[in-house]
Chains A and B, each alone.
Chain A
Amino acid sequence: MSARNSLLIGLALLVLLALAPVDLNDIGVPYPGLRRYGTYILTLWLVTAIAAMGVNLIVGYAGQETLAQAAFVGIGAYLTAIVTKAGVPFGVAFAASGLLTFVIGIALGFPALRVQKHYLAFVTLAFSVLCWLVFRNEQWITGGVMGIRDIERPSFLGWPLRNHIRFYWFVLGITSIMTFVLWWIVRSPWGRAFTALRENPLRAESLGVDVRLYTLLAFALGSAYGGMAGSLYAPLVEFIDPSPFALGPSLLFMLMVVIGGSGTFLGPFVGAGIAVLLPEWLRAWETWYLLIYAVLVMVMMAFFPSGIVGLATRLLARKARS
């Protein structure tokens, strides 16, 4: 697909998404919009998708494994909650969340990537558990298991975002910008180096690609996407405690990206959609949804390891040929 076409499709999707929660009956379209909870779920999907885009950059493009994305989301969420409560503007907290998680990404990735493959997985696994311990134990700053409540939603250029639809538009705006940035990175020479890395690291290295530097930057940037997603998550749910940032949720981030289709641009959005919506749809089954999800993932890996987007692309290509 040409760059122009994908931009146009992206813009059309953006308009549809912006209108999704709005009651259109006033302008003659028989569409009732979404209720408060529906809009909340849609916003949660966008926030999850930002963090999943980060995982996709690390897993799908740089060919590494990260098991700490939920911990990075947690760092962003706690940082934002704590400093905005102290009166720091949201914009500063958002930037600080991205910067801090980027720096931590460099610090974790540098030693891990010196060694062979998969060590990043183990280092991030350890980091994830350590972060959770800090969130839970350091009550003086994180509130421990009681968490932090009444996190204020920010205002944007003097426009208060307390209303759920306004906050949704705000998150949608940020998601679009971050999606565009990632799309640009993946298409730039920098991004093409990633693809070279994933396809054949040794050949990429012999052609002069600095494998370690690129992988390190991909990991740090992907982690920063997690931190910034966390910075939006805190004002969205208005209450944070350690449980959504434990090891389990970090593993779920890996699963959702691979299910959606790792290394494909839309994969994280599809995967995040499934991860956010599935518990809602399977609510009647209560705790069983994780069981069903786990079986789906295993079947998927056995038959369609390229994920839903990969499968859809293949089916579309077959249709176009016949």
Chain B
Amino acid sequence: MTDFLQLLISGLATGAIYALAAIGFTLLWQTSQTINFAQGEFVMVPAFLALIAMRWFGVPFVASLVLAILASMLLLGVAFRYVVVGPLIRRGVLPLVISTIALSILLKESVKDFYSAEAQTFPTLLPDTLITVAGVSVSLAQLGVLAVALVTIVLLQWFLAGTRTGRQMQATAQNPTVARILGVPVERMILYTFLINAALAAMASLLVSPIYLAKFSNGETLGLIAFVAAIVGGFNQVRGAIAGGLLIGVLDNLAAAYVSTAYRQAIPLILLVLVILFRPQGLLGRREERAV
């Protein structure tokens, strides 16, 4: 039982990181119909931006984390919006899918060729000291990850539901035409979504890299998990992405302990297939109506 509790908590910690990546993915889809096949690489790159700041320019650790988030918002937010998505947004979904697949290859190969093909250790803010409460040992780092991710999610939810800009963003997501008629600056809202996605991906990157090391190929697994989390939870719901992320984090950790490690990766995929078979709108999703 204590084993199970320990696995549950470390599962929730990684799950909260997956949720960050999945929320960004869902937001992009809602506001601009962009399926970002490079989402995994978006979670891989910021850790390397921080490493570049630290190792090439000697920036202190905490400052380079902040720099990495800002640089990601510029590169994976603004530049992605205007250079990659901008010219394609009216061409329909397929060219955008192809272009983001190409972008994922570009980011992965760039990190491999310009930085390193080897896995890099990444420093953590909190030490790995174990705290034992009622026989359950949890590391401080894990609790820190969980806390940071949860605070980010709560702040985001408050922003989306509680502020004027957040509500305008939701209006844009639900019906851009009506939003525009009502005077919502739709273009700016779409840009905000891209900025938030980049910031969330950067947060996920900086939280996950101390656990799994930073490596150019990390995006493949992370991207896959972000898709699965978004779809399992419900493609059109932010809270769906949160639930999906947490669920997959926990399942993944339990699978690594109780099922074979060789097929650990298969568990989220099987979950995805089951959800599409029996509850295609996702666990928390609503059915989408089709307009003629």
Contacts and interface: CB of A to CB of B under 8 A. Distances in A.
A297 interface: yes
A233 to B, nearest CB: 22
Interface stretch (B130-138, B141-149, B162-170, B266-274): B266-274
B228 A126 contact: yes
A137 B112 CA distance: 26
- Chain B interface, DSSP helix/strand/loop, else mixed: helix
Interface residues of A, number: 42
Given A114-B280, A118-B35, A119-B280, A297 B272 contact: no
B266 A133 contact: yes
A144 to B, nearest CB: 10
Contacts of B280: 114-115, 119
B93 interface: yes
B269 A130 contact: yes
A129 B277 CA distance: 18
Contacts of B183: none
Nearest to B271: A126
Contacts of A116: 288, 290
Interface string A126-139: 11011001000100
Nearest to B91: A305
A118 B262 contact: no
A123 to B, nearest CB: 6
Given A254-B101, A302-B87, A129 B269 contact: yes
B103 interface: yes
B98 interface: yes
A125 B94 contact: no
A132 to B, nearest CB: 9
A254 B104 CA distance: 14
B75 to A, nearest CB: 15
Contact of A301 (B102, B263, B265): B102
Contact of A112 (B112, B113, B270, B276): B276
Nearest to B107: A294
B224 interface: yes
B103 A298 contact: yes
B245 to A, nearest CB: 16
Nearest to B220: A247
Interface stretch (A33-41, A43-51, A285-293): A285-293
A202 interface: yes
Interface in A116-166: 116-119, 121-123, 125-127, 129-130, 133, 137
25 contacts: A65-B94, A111-B273, A111-B277, A114-B280, A116-B288, A118-B35, A119-B231, A119-B276, A125-B224, A125-B227, A129-B265, A133-B263, A137-B263, A255-B102, A258-B95, A262-B94, A288-B113, A291-B105, A291-B113, A294-B103, A297-B99, A298-B106, A302-B87, A302-B99, A305-B95
Interface of B: 35, 37, 84, 87-88, 91, 93-99, 101-106, 109-110, 112-113, 220, 224, 227-228, 231, 262-263, 265-266, 269-270, 272-273, 276-277, 280, 288, 290, 292
